[in-house]
Structures are given as C-alpha cells and as structure tokens.
Amino acid sequence: MAFEHPLVPGAFDRTPERPNDSAAVWPEEVFITGTDLNDAFGIARRQSERIGNTVSRDGDRKSGAAIEIDRAGSRILLGGGTVYVAGDVRPVGAAVLEGVDLTTDLIVGVRVSSTVINSEDDPTLAGLKPGTEAEGEKGASRIVTRLVWGYAGDGAEGQLYPVYTLVKGTPLDQTPPAEMSQVAQVSAAQDFGANGNYIDEGCRVTAIEKSNGNVVFSIAAGTGNIKGFKRSREHALRLEIEEKWDTFQIDGEQHTYTVASNKKQKFRLHYGPIDELVNIQLEKEVTEDVTRSQIINGSDTLQNDSLKEIVQIKQGSKTFVRGTDYQLTADKVDWSLAGDEPSPGSSYHCKYRYRDSVQPVTVSAHDIELTGGRTGGEVVVIYKRKLPRVDLVCLDQTGNAVYVEGQSSARAVAPQTPDNLLKLATVYNDFDGLPLVKNDGTHNITYDKLWEVVQLLNSSRDLIALNRLQLDIHDKEPAAKRGIFVDPFADDRWRDLGAQQNAAVRNGMLTLPLDVTIHDLNNTGVEMLPYKLENVIDQPLSTTCKLINRFASHEPFPASMKLEPSQDFWTDVDEVWASDVTHEVFGPEASSTSEQQVVGTAEENAKFLRAIDITVTIEGFGGGEILDRIMFDNVDMTPAQKPAAAGDGQLTLTLSIPAKKHAAGEKLVEAFGVGGSEAFARFVGEGKVTTQTMQRVTTLVLVPPPPPPPQIITVTRIITRNRDPRGQTFSLPAGNRHIAQVKLWFCKIGNPNTPVVVELRATNGAGFPTDEILAQAVIDMSKVELNKWTPCPFPSLPYLLSTREYAFIAITPDNEHSISAAVLGEFDEKNQSFLGVNPYTVGTEIESSNNSTYLPVHGSDLTCGVDAAEFTQTTKRVELGNVDLDRCSDLMIAAAVDTPETGCSITFEITRADGSKIRTAAYAGVQFDEWVKETVSIAAILKGTRTASPRLFPGVQVRAGKLAETADYIGVAFQTGNASRFPVRVKRTLPNGASAKVFLKNSSGDFVEAPYKTGEVLDAAGTVDATYELDQNLGSQTAVKITITGNPKARPVLEDLRAVATI
C-alpha cells in the first residue's frame, strides 16, 4: 500500500500525500482506524509547524547551543541547548567534534535521529487499565526524536540542519539566542546605540506660572524614548521647581540726579533684575547754622558725615574764602588756616554737600525711585543682581521629569545633557517674570524623511546662500550688471588660494584669526569626589573551588604599556588659513544666524594629530630583551638604535608623532620584543573625546584588537588569542551607582607572580559580556590571602545603570588560581546548609575558553560582592596648575568630563593675577577685552550627590588664543565686462577701535581702495549694511580684497559680501 509509515511497520499515514487536509472528522457509525488517528495528529503537527516557521527557521538557536573553536586542537566545542528543527524546539546535548579541518569553509549543525519504541521495548506502552480488554494489549508506538551535533562531510547519516557557518574556522554569527524576558533589553540597547534618546511625540514644555516661590511648568502628554525604552503619558505632567538664583554684586554703579531735590527720579540700573540693594549713596546739599567753637584756629563739627565738599560759609554780609580761611578736614570745618574766622561763640551759615545712605521710594526688578537728591548730584548704587542661568527640562528612564540646572553666569550657556536623560526643552532664566522656554529636544524622524532632508540641504544650501546674496545685490543695484561676486563666508571655498591672506572665515563671518598655543595641565588621573564603600550586592555562600582558567590557556599576559600623554584634545586642520583653528577656540554667531544654519557640508577640512611627543613605558619585557619593533597607527616607528629592557623588564622610549601624518581619532600602539614579548595601548587625539573613549584609553589592553575580517563576509569578532575567563553577571538592585570594587573569594593560588585581571564589562542584553571594558583591576596574587575577601578596585568608578545587566570576569594565564562559588544542591560547610535555591537569582556564573563566546553555568554563582561608592562630600576643588599667558585674547579649557546624572557638574575656575575669578565650562570660550600677559591658575570644581559624582579625565588642556591685529581676505576673481562702477556691499560690525577697508584689483594687479559710500543700520548691536564703491575701469576681471583691524576689545565681524560690476 502507498501510505506506509516510514518508521513504524504496519502503520499508515496519509498526510504526506495530502498537504491540503485541514481536519479529520468522523461521522457517527464509522470505524475509527489507526490510520485516521495518525492523519489527525499529522494534520495538527503540520499546522503547528507552519505557525512555527513564521517566526523561526530550521537551525535557529533558542537557548544555549554556543560554539567555541579550538584551533590548536582542531576541535569544535558545542554547548547544550535548544534548537528549532522541523516545527519544534528540541533539546541538543553538548558535544566535541574532533579532527575538524578548520582551514576550509564549513557548515556545523544538528541532525535529527528518530527511534521507534513499542510496547515490546517498553512494557509501560501496553494497556494499563486493569480489568479492561486493553490491559496488557499492544498500544501505540512512540517515535523518539533526538538532535545530535555534526558537520557537513562528517559521514554521519541523516539530514543536517545548519546552525553555524564557519569561514576558515571563524563563525559568522555568534549572536547569543534571545530569550523573551530579555528581548526588551536587546532592543533597547540597539535603539539607544543607533538613535540615542529622542521624543517620539508630544512632550512640549510650557512655563505657566509662579506659585509659592516655585516656577510651574507643564509637560504635555506624549512619548519619550530614553535609553531605548519608551515612556508614554496620556496626560500632561506638572513640574514645580523652586526658583533660586546666584547673585553678583555691582560695586559702585554711578548715576546723576537730574531733577529738583523735592522731586522723585526713577533710575534704570545697568544690570538687572535686582536681587538686593546693598547701599544707595545719594548726594544732598544742605545749609546748616553752625556755632563757632571757643578754640581759635580749631574746627567745628557738622550734623552730617560723608561730606563731599563745602560750598559756602557766610556770616552776615561776609563770605569766607575756601582754601584761605577754611578747609574741609575729616567732615569738619577746619579754621586752622591763616585767614579770617568767625569770632568764638558766634554763629554762621555753612552750605555743604554730603553723601547720604538712603532707602528708595520704590523698587522694581530693574528700577529704583529716589527723592531728596541735589540737582546734578551723584548717585552711587551698590546692589546684587540676579545672574541668568540656562537650565534643561528632561525625562529620566522611568519617564519622570527632571530639572537640570546650569551654571549661573552673565553669559550663561546650557549645561550638557546627561546620557541617561532625554532633553525636552531649554529654559532661559533671567528671573524677571516667567522664563523663556525653547522646545529644542530631539524628535524622532524616519530614515526616508531624514535622507530626503539631507539630500535637499546638501544640494541646495550653497545655492540658497549664493542666491540670497545675488538677489540682494540685484535689488540694491538695479542698473545693468556685467559681473557678480558673492561670498556668504560659510567656508574658504570662495577665496583665492594663490593669494597671501590670513583672515578667518567660518559660520557666515569674516573675522580676525587666532594663533593658538596649547598648554597641557598636570592632571594624570581620573578626578572624582571622595567616597566610602557601600555594599550593594553580597553573595557570601560557597560550596566549591573553581579554576579561573579551566580550559588551561597558558599564554602569558602581554606586557603593560603606559603612554604619557595618552590623549590629546587638539587636532591640526588641513587648511591654508586659520579658519577652523579660530573656530575651535572662538566660535561666535553671525547676526543672521537664522539664515545661515545648514545641515551637513559639501566639504570638510581633514583633521590630523598635531606634532606631539609620547613617552612610552613598557613593563613586563624580559630582562635585557631588545625591542624588535613598535607600531603607532600601523606605522613602524622603531628607533634606529633599538633599545633593550632593563633588568626588571622596564623599557622607556619616546615616539615623536609628526604633524598632519595621522588622522585624528583613536590609535593603537603595539610593541614587540625579540624574545616574543608584546605590549599594547591606545592613544586618542580628537577635538572632543567621549566618556567611552576615555574608558578605553585608560584600560590595560590584554588582547590586541582583531584584524579586519575578509571583505566578502561580515564577522562579529575574530578570535586572535584564547583567554579562559570565569565571571558573573549581575544587575544593581536599585538606582544607578558608581561601582568602586568587586570582591572575590580566592580559594587557591598558583604562581603568585602571575596576576589576575578582573574586568567590568557591559553585556549584550542577553547576559553575555561584550568587548566594551568599563573598568579594570589587576590583582597582585602575591598579596592575596586565601579564604578572605579580596577587593578588586576600579579607581575610575564606572557608572552603571540599574536597568542594564553587567558582568565582571576574572582572567589569568595561570592554571591553578581558583575562586569560590556556590552550586545549587551542594553543601555550604561555612554556613552549614544545603543550597536549595540559586544563591544569586539576578545573574549567573559564566565561563569561556576564548574570551568571546560565553556559556552560562546554571545553578552556580561566584562567591562575590559588589561595593558602590557613597560620596562623603558633594563638592571638591581640584587645582590643575598654572598657565603663563603671553598676549592672550581668547581662552578655552578642553577636557573630557562625565556628568552621569542630574546634580553633577564640573566648572573650571580661572584665577587671574589680580585675584579676580572667571568661571567657565569645558569648551566654553572666554574672551578678554585686553591683551593678557600674566600667570593664571586653573582649578576644577566638581559637584555631585551622595550617589553620583562627575568624572574629570586626564589630559586637561588650556587653549590660549592670540588675536591678530590685522588680517586680509581676497576673493576669487570675477568677470567685469569692462564695467566702470563697482559697488561692494558687506554687513559689518565694527566696535570702536576696529576698522574695515575694501579694495578692488585693477588690470595691473594692484588693489585700489574703494571708498565708503553709505550704510544702513540693521540692529542694536551696530551692524551696518555698508556700501563701498569704486568708479573706474578695472579691466576684464577683478577681485575683492578686505583688510580688517582690531583688538581684543574691538573685534570686527563682517558678513554677506556682495560685489557687482555695473555701468
């Protein structure tokens, strides 16, 4: 018969030949046969398989089933787990595939092995109900299906379902199988990595009122995506923030009392709003009857003090002469001069002026009203003003509103948004009424729309800028044109490359260039607030002692390499003029900023590492071992005379990095000894450096980065050296924290001279460590005491999120170093109890034979603890050193700072020679209004909370700019058509002391000055749309030259150059 079952003799199954059957239905009085039952179960099985195939495919791993490659032993190590095959998720046991050729491409997968068991093989499959006709009779057979590991070409029977593809021994996909409980974390990590924090919809912030000393904001309903998690609200959120401000005292602001003394006068103070009136000195004039004292040539006391001058002294018809008869001494009438004086005991009239401390009649935020002053008299006001501040309204990971305060300053700038917060709006506080709210949070946008906008802007930005200027000159010069030249000063593209010139052009402005000097400050470690330890995770149970290096990888650690410096925050720019360099230190905004904003640029100057000497210190070479080669950014920089390590294995040399030979970015430094020793380190040279980069730079490199994969495939990671770590995953119990140390319980020590490295790593969301090292501790095993807690400190105090899972791993080449663990079901001798539950349920123990693919050790957790930092003070001052400024006009402090959450900030304080202090933030430029030649001291002020501290990384630099006093700009030539009139228009802002002259090139190549003709004032800052015009024939073509002069107090800024050749 055609429907025989392929495995069970005497059984039939029609479903393979009837793919469209959807159900088996038995009418009444119809026999039920075994074939019909097989068909019914087969139909159900086929339906289930079709559903499963919509979400999975044969060979998909659902849990475990990890792969490890042992190249040395030509083996493939495969873990147990579950794999989706033939419509079902089936278990597969661990296996080791021996004698595998790892030099070729290979398919590794599972084969299905099916076995038939009937009642003869297993009596329990016979009828079980006693007393029935079925008792002891044959029952249905069972098909037992098992999965076994195999690979293509191994000679085994059965269909192979591919799970892994190997290219010359490298698995193409080692992504751990996702578990549904962790899908959200995986998705969140990917979303945040690609898009950061963003507003999905709504969340508009409005300042609505002031109430009981608070400013009340309303945050509209909407959805925010923070750290990859969406937080939605269906209603508005009310946020009340206490209104508080910092003050600055104005000492001695002067005004003049212009009305009669019996009138009231209102004065608008220069700086407001007013916080407190400290003192008001009002000049008054009074005439007082004074009785001459009995002492000849003595003095007479007046009723008032703080006298300014005596106007007149008169007795009857006689008027005494000031300076001849009397003088003012110590607020008294002094008659000690040789002239006349009133008789003792007689009275006289004395008119004098004095300063009186008064209270205002009325006070407002900016004005005071006074009365009683002398007409033409002086008014001196001492008061405290409210300093403006720029703050942020944000959402945290739970969707709650967070208010981030900025730094109060007369020129306040917005604070940096912490990574764990989503910025909704910027709040500009002048503390005069409700603050201004700018809803400038980042909103999501589809990639289609984003790409459309980028393409549009890239193709049209130059046309828009040039067109605007051309239309402007057309409107203002209606006569016939023979040639037009415009330059929006967006970059240097419209300048004559062959002409000597030095003006800086960037961001829509032409200005004086800066000559920048870099001063490196002497902070060599990560600066944070002082702290004490607080235990947050404790797993003290122990039942067994486990090898760290279970797979016995004996290759020693590479030697350690230290770079000094390991970072540089200044880059050289490949440009003819100092435009980019000037913008790095001084980046002002053009008056027509709203018209000049662009997204993307057609060209960007290349940035390089500047010339710098790097001191390389290597520890761990063999005594006397000669350096074979040292590579920087894959460039051989080995000295001609190869140095040898000292007897203790230490070697020091200097690498001189040439200017403009290495692109800016992160660079690998590699050193190799003749005896086989190796050492690695990272150097970073960027204008601004991220916290993640600084964590990499300050971490010991144990394994060199992998080489690039073959171009025809994509490889997650190429294993370049086996490491056999053991570790533990964990999550913080409540709240984000800085981790100070991990504690391990060592139970056996091998070679005490071989260290153990403990690394704190991020995980990929599925519970397995990534290559991102957050912190590192090197444990000197000669100082470890057995069966005691061994602290593994992380000096940089990495900041961990309570919503993420992390792992710490221990690595060593020693095959005897061991740490304690607690295994489910085993006996804890110290605590005298069996472990009936997992000792630590939040995480699990993990191990690996290659430091890449990890296997969970279910039912086992390391004996460990995690201590967080509890900061004992919330502020700290760090003295960074002195800097000698020589004719400095602009200053900027470049630093890598990390402000992990609200309440954390780093402010830099510059103390000048006269004791005055300037506070600024990293990368916020400071402009002086004079040439500064003095020594200034730099300090960092760290502010944090009990659980969070800012981090100041090494390598703080001071960028001191010297402003040029004169500069030239020469544009490219344009055709004139032998025109005779040349109007040149340019918007100019010229403070008193600055100047701008315009020239045009004639047929002889000389530049002829174009006289200033007229101008239109555009704004209160004094920007003028100036017209220069030259009436003469310049030949067939000409070029515009502009010469500007200025000084720190008077900085010229020119915008929107438009020139036309007309008749």
| Domain range annotation of the chain | 15-177, 195-245+388-438, 259-375, 459-512+965-1062, 516-527+872-963, 541-562+734-786+802-857, 599-693
More confident residue, 725 or 579: 725
Checking if the pLDDT of 876 tops 70, the result is yes
Whole-number pLDDT of residue 136: 76
Q: Percentage of the chain with pLDDT > 90?
A: 38
What's the token pair of residue 292? 């001459």
Instruction: Measure the CA–CA gap between 97 and 678, rounded to whole angstroms.
Output: 33
The least confident of 53-62, 338-347, 505-514 is 53-62
Checking if the pLDDT of 1047 tops 60, the result is yes
Q: Which fold has domain 516-527+872-963?
A: Jelly Rolls (2.60.120)
Q: Do domains 459-512+965-1062 and 516-527+872-963 have the same CATH topology?
A: yes
Which helix (DSSP H) or strand (DSSP E) does residue 463 occupy? helix 447-476
Checking if the pLDDT of 717 tops 50, the result is no
Q: Which DSSP category does 180 fall into?
A: G
What integer is the mean pLDDT of 752-765?
A: 87
Checking if the pLDDT of 709 tops 50, the result is no
247 SS3 class: strand
The CA-atom distances, in angstroms, between 360 and each of 262, 263, 265, 380, 1006 are 14, 13, 10, 12, 65
What integer is the mean pLDDT of 604-623?
A: 77
Contact 141, 121 (CB under 8 A): no
pLDDT, tens digit, for every residue of 352-404?
999 999 999 999 999 999 999 999 999 999 999 999 999 999 998 877 889 99
Whole-number pLDDT of residue 554: 59
Contact 275, 255 (CB under 8 A): no
- Return all residues near 846 (Cβ < 8 A) that are at least 6 apart: 726, 727, 728, 729, 767, 768, 769, 807, 809, 854, 855, 856, 857
Whole-number pLDDT of residue 143: 78
Q: The sheet that has 160-167: what strands, in order across it?
A: 60-64, 81-85, 88-92, 142-151, 106-117, 160-167, 170-171
Strands (E), 321-386: 327-329, 332-334, 347-357, 362-363, 367-371, 377-386
Whole-number pLDDT of residue 1048: 93
Long-range CB pairs of 662-666, under 8 A, 24+ apart, other chains included: 662/608, 662/609, 662/632, 662/633, 662/635, 663/606, 663/607, 663/608, 663/609, 664/571, 664/607, 664/608, 664/609, 666/693, 666/696, 666/697
pLDDT, tens digit, for every residue of 254-311?
999 999 988 999 999 998 899 999 999 999 999 999 999 888 889 999 999 999 999 9
pLDDT, tens digit, for every residue of 552-601?
665 677 788 888 888 776 655 444 455 554 554 454 443 322 222 222 22
Checking if the pLDDT of 699 tops 60, the result is no
Whole-number pLDDT of residue 159: 84
Contact 336, 299 (CB under 8 A): yes
Q: Select from 607, 618, 616, 658 the least CA-distant residue to 635.
A: 658
pTM score: 0.57
The phi, psi pair for 545, rounded to 5°, reads: -120, 125
1048 SS3 class: coil
Whole-number pLDDT of residue 693: 45
Whole-number pLDDT of residue 718: 25
Question: What value, to the nearest 5°, has the Cα angle with vertex 1054 and ends 1052 and 1059?
Answer: 140
Strands (E), 509-649: 509-511, 514-520, 531-539, 544-547, 559-564, 567-568, 571-573, 607-609, 612-619, 627-632, 635-636
Question: What value, to the nearest 5°, has the Cα angle with vertex 803 and ends 532 and 66?
Answer: 110
**Homologous superfamily (CATH) for 459-512+965-1062:** Galactose-binding domain-like (2.60.120.260)
What's the token pair of residue 51? 């559903």
Number of H helices, E strands in the chain: 6, 79
CATH no., domain 599-693: 2.60.40
Which of 135-149, 558-572, 936-950 has maximum average pLDDT? 936-950
Long-range CB pairs of 850-853, under 8 A, 24+ apart, other chains included: 850/68, 850/69, 850/719, 850/722, 850/723, 850/724, 851/703, 851/719, 851/721, 851/722, 851/723, 851/724, 851/725, 851/811, 852/174, 852/717, 852/719, 853/66, 853/67, 853/68, 853/174, 853/768
What's the token pair of residue 852? 């890449």
Tell me the three-class secondary structure of 83-132, residue by residue: EEECCEEEEECCEEECCCCCCCCEEEEEEEEEEEECCCCCHHHCECCCCC
What's the token pair of residue 271? 């700086």
What's the token pair of residue 975? 């055709």
Whole-number pLDDT of residue 183: 53
What integer is the mean pLDDT of 856-870?
A: 91
More confident residue, 758 or 553: 758
The least confident of 229-233, 410-414, 428-432 is 229-233
Instruction: Measure the CA–CA gap between 83 and 898, rounded to whole angstroms.
Output: 43
Whole-number pLDDT of residue 182: 46
Contact 7, 16 (CB under 8 A): no
pLDDT, tens digit, for every residue of 106-115?
888 999 888 8
Contact 632, 657 (CB under 8 A): yes
Alpha helices, DSSP H, located in 504-600 = 579-585, 593-596
pLDDT, tens digit, for every residue of 960-1018?
999 999 999 999 999 888 888 999 999 999 999 999 999 999 989 999 999 999 998 88
Whole-number pLDDT of residue 174: 46
Checking if the pLDDT of 850 tops 50, the result is yes
Checking if the pLDDT of 123 tops 90, the result is no
What integer is the mean pLDDT of 442-447?
A: 84
Whole-number pLDDT of residue 170: 63
Whole-number pLDDT of residue 207: 87
CA 755, distance to chain mean position in Å, is: 34
34 SS3 class: helix
What integer is the mean pLDDT of 590-614?
A: 45
Checking if the pLDDT of 874 tops 80, the result is yes
Instruction: Measure the CA–CA gap between 570 and 609, rounded to whole angstroms.
Output: 8
Burial of residue 727, with CB atoms counted within 10 A of its CB: 0-12 exposed, 13-18 middle, 19 or more buried? buried
Pairing mode, if any, of strands 106-117 and 142-151?
Answer: antiparallel
